Amino acid sequence: MKKAKGEHTSSDSVDRISELPKDILHRIMYFLTQEEAVRTSVLSKPWRYIWCTRPVLSFSDAAFKGNDDEFIRLIDASLERYYDQKLCVDEFHLCISKGYLNYQSYYILEKWIRTLVFLGMKKFRLSNCVEDGVIHYLPPVVFEARSLEDLHVEIRTSSDDDEKEYERIVFSKHLKKLHVKKVNTEDGVFHKAISSFPFVDIETMSLDSCKGLRNVKITNLRNLKNFSFVTKPSEGDCSIEIHPPSLETVKITHGNLRFDRGADFRNLNELYLFRVTSKLDHLSSCKFPSLKELTMYYCYELKEIKLFIDAPNIVHFRYLGDFIPSVSFATTSSREWCSMIHLCSNSGASSLWFRKLRELLESLSESKIVLGVIQNIVGCEKPVVVERLGFRFYSSSTFSSLLNGAFSICRPKNVGPFHLRIHINVIKCVENILMKRESGNQLDQFSELLFRDLEEVGLEIYDKNRKEWNPTSLSELPNYEEAEYNLIRFALKWR
Amino acid sequence: MAAETGTPTTLTLKSNDDELFSVAESAAILSVTIRNMVEDGCAGGVIPLDNVDGKTLASVITYMNGISAIPADEEKKKSYRDKFLSDKDFETLADMVLAANYLNMSCLMDAVSAKIAQVMEKKSVGWVRRKFGIENDYTPEEEAAVKEEHKWTFEGVETDDDN
């Protein structure tokens, strides 16, 4: 360890980092900005030229202190050096904001990309540094670099008058990953680009907030594994046609996912649907042998249908919505799975609401159920066992009737968690209700039924450090330090 | 650590200080180096890993087991990696990055490299030298010349350099 004798080194430091092989130092520098990588040249003589050959270049004009011309000259000079020394650039990251790369200078971007293709660029990431930055014009060449395996374009374009230019977009045939965000793409152009090429290799595609898409038809992408689509509701409906068998994860926000009845989702692992406009009853006719995660948030198309999901390997089912859906799963193997149901009740709960909730809980009763109720509900047949009952957004005046209502339909193993300080009144209220049986007061019919089933009530506190729940009691609560304990819950044992 | 060779899905790895570790094949093949050995049929007996010591290998195996127990969920994997590396000092990180490189485990390699880069981020040259014990072997004139050459990277950066 020959370099260990520096005067200013801290007590135990032996210079391990300078002894790491160059490839590893390049990998470490991969995670630094261009400026930071270049600055390492000042550390010591062995470090002087290490940054020069790292196979990634990353420039951001927001961090650049000089003017526009200097920024462009710097990139020019860097690319020239790589070109002259026949060095490889695997990745090129360019983060630009308004003004640095405008309509007049887009040819510079074209020139860079040609050089980068020559240098073997596999991954290209183009983005806006500032959230509201706009680039006036995005040359088609960005999409066409033929060496590319991974293209990430996250940039807001403002021009609508260059559609003609885009008509000839041809994606790289090696492309494995495509991420396009906020780009103004006319439907026809995108569709043409996708369908004009077999695209055999592409595995991951993400289309996020792209303006102007009405129809995404990607049924010809036979190796696509991960697909994600996000749009705003104001953009209007976009229909999405997919090739189900190859897909492993599908995430759709505000789109109309379309597939045939009985479609074959043999590899689908995760399905995430948020406010989709798809006809969801088609799901009932499909098989999902690999599905582990199913998430449905605010899917209004569930309203009038009875959904049956054939997913024997399901691990998590998540539902959030302001109505109670009718969802059941094929009998799963003995494995444990979990349903997380969160309901917002706007209209106040009626007996019909409870009946529907009971039906849903019953159809999911093979799973561990976590039930969350947002806003007020008030409310007997045989109650359903629920793993945890949680409440959000309640007022303390209606809380006790809410709790009574919930107890009339389900038998939670845990109630909570509640915040130790903020919810202290609520904690006392739960305690009051649950401990009433010991007070000797006259019980109403409901409480009698409740306490007939209730065997034991315990209070538990969460230890943040050990990450576990420990038994405690109401009188001990003031003694806990909030830094270490802030949540409590009730543990209920039912007969 | 006792070696277990009974079941076909368990591999035995040997560190360069002769410690033996058994690990599920499904977890061990996160290492492309090991996977290639398995595919070539060379993994029957004990797999010697000449560039990794026992302490580091134990740590790598903990990582292999931990990460392979998490299903395809990038976020969960990332948070596992962050947690796994959170209490490691630089000495250990340097051993890990060398081991990850040798074992050809890109996910561990990237996580450790990013962690080391994080330490260097937004720090002055002097601070990085002190932190990693890098001896400045430039003369003041040479150092000034290198700085001048890359002047644009130093604009707006605090200069707390004292060596």
Interface with chain A: mutation pick from B96, B129, B159, B162, highest number of A CBs within 10 Å: B129
Contacts of A375 (CB under 8 A, 6+ apart): A344, A345, A346, A393, A394
With contact defined as beta carbons under 8 Å apart, do A376 and A344 qualify? no
**A385 reaches B (C-beta below 8 A):** no
Closest residue on chain A to B110 (Cα): A27
**A467 reaches B (C-beta below 8 A):** no
- pLDDT at residue A199 in the model: 59
Average pLDDT, chain B: 84
For β-strands A177-181 and A150-154, DSSP reports them as parallel
Contacts of A89 (CB under 8 A, 6+ apart): A55, A56, A57, A79, A82, A116, A119, A120, A121
> How many residues does this entry show for chain A?
495
**A52 reaches B (C-beta below 8 A):** no
Q: Do both B23 and B88 map to the same domain?
A: yes
> Would the CA dihedral through A202, A206, A210, A215 be positive or negative?
positive
- Nearest to B107, CA basis, from B63, B48, B47, B73: B63
Q: What is the CATH number of the domain that holds B85?
A: 3.30.710.10
Q: Do both B149 and B107 map to the same domain?
A: no
Q: What is the domain count for chain B?
A: 2
Residues 156-185 of chain A with CB under 8 A from chain B are: none
- pLDDT at residue A4 in the model: 40
Separation CA A194–CA A130 (nearest Å): 29
- pLDDT at residue A133 in the model: 56
H or E, element range at B27: helix B25-28
Residues of B with CB under 8 A from a CB of A: 71-73, 90-91, 94, 97-98, 101, 109-110, 113-114, 116-118, 120-122, 125-126, 128-138, 143, 146-147, 149-150, 152-157, 162-163
Q: To the nearest whole angstrom, how far is the Cα of A170 from the nearest Cα of chain B?
A: 30
CA A12 to chain centre: 42
With contact defined as beta carbons under 8 Å apart, do A220 and A195 qualify? yes
How is residue B152 annotated by DSSP? G
- pTM score of the predicted model: 0.70
- Lowest mean pLDDT: which of A3-17, B8-22, B97-111? A3-17
Q: Do both B113 and B143 map to the same domain?
A: no
Q: Is residue B89 part of a domain?
A: yes
In chain B, residues with a C-beta closer than 8 Å to the C-beta of A34 are 153
More confident residue, B116 or A457: B116
- Hey, where are the domains in chain A? 377-495
Q: Do both B38 and B85 map to the same domain?
A: yes
Q: Mean pLDDT in runs of 10 for chain A (495 residues)?
A: 40 74 91 88 90 86 70 86 88 74 68 86 78 60 73 67 56 80 70 63 86 82 90 83 91 90 91 90 90 92 90 91 89 79 70 84 88 58 76 65 75 84 77 64 60 81 86 82 82 85
Query: Cβ separation of B136 and A44 shorter than 8 Å?
Result: yes
Q: Is residue B1 part of a domain?
A: no
Q: Is residue B163 part of a domain?
A: no
> How many residues does this entry show for chain B?
163
Q: Is residue B134 part of a domain?
A: yes
Query: Cβ separation of A6 and B135 shorter than 8 Å?
Result: yes
Point out the residue among B114, B130, B152 whose CB comes nearest to the CB of A74.
B152
**A81 reaches B (C-beta below 8 A):** no
Q: Do both B31 and B103 map to the same domain?
A: yes
Residues 200-259 of chain A with CB under 8 A from chain B are: 248-249
Q: To the nearest whole angstrom, how far is the Cα of A51 from the nearest Cα of chain B?
A: 12
Q: Is residue B4 part of a domain?
A: no
Q: Do both B148 and B77 map to the same domain?
A: no
Closest residue on chain B to A13 (Cα): B133
Query: Cβ separation of A39 and B157 shorter than 8 Å?
Result: yes
Query: Cβ separation of A27 and B121 shorter than 8 Å?
Result: no
Contacts of A348 (CB under 8 A, 6+ apart): A376, A377, A378
Q: Do both B47 and B109 map to the same domain?
A: yes
Separation CA A471–CA A392 (nearest Å): 23
CA-based max dimension of chain A: 92
Q: Is residue B3 part of a domain?
A: no
Q: Is residue B138 part of a domain?
A: yes
- For B149, the domain range is 128-158
Q: Do both B21 and B58 map to the same domain?
A: yes
- pLDDT at residue A272 in the model: 94
Query: Cβ separation of B117 and A31 shorter than 8 Å?
Result: yes
In chain B, residues with a C-beta closer than 8 Å to the C-beta of A24 are 97-98, 101, 109, 113
At A307, list the tokens: 């959904």
For chain B, the distance separating the N- and C-terminal CA atoms, rounded to the nearest angstrom, is 47
With contact defined as beta carbons under 8 Å apart, do A274 and A252 qualify? yes
At A436, list the tokens: 């009433």
In chain A, residues with a C-beta closer than 8 Å to the C-beta of B155 are 65-66
Query: Cβ separation of B71 and A269 shorter than 8 Å?
Result: yes
**A41 reaches B (C-beta below 8 A):** yes
With contact defined as beta carbons under 8 Å apart, do B150 and A41 qualify? yes
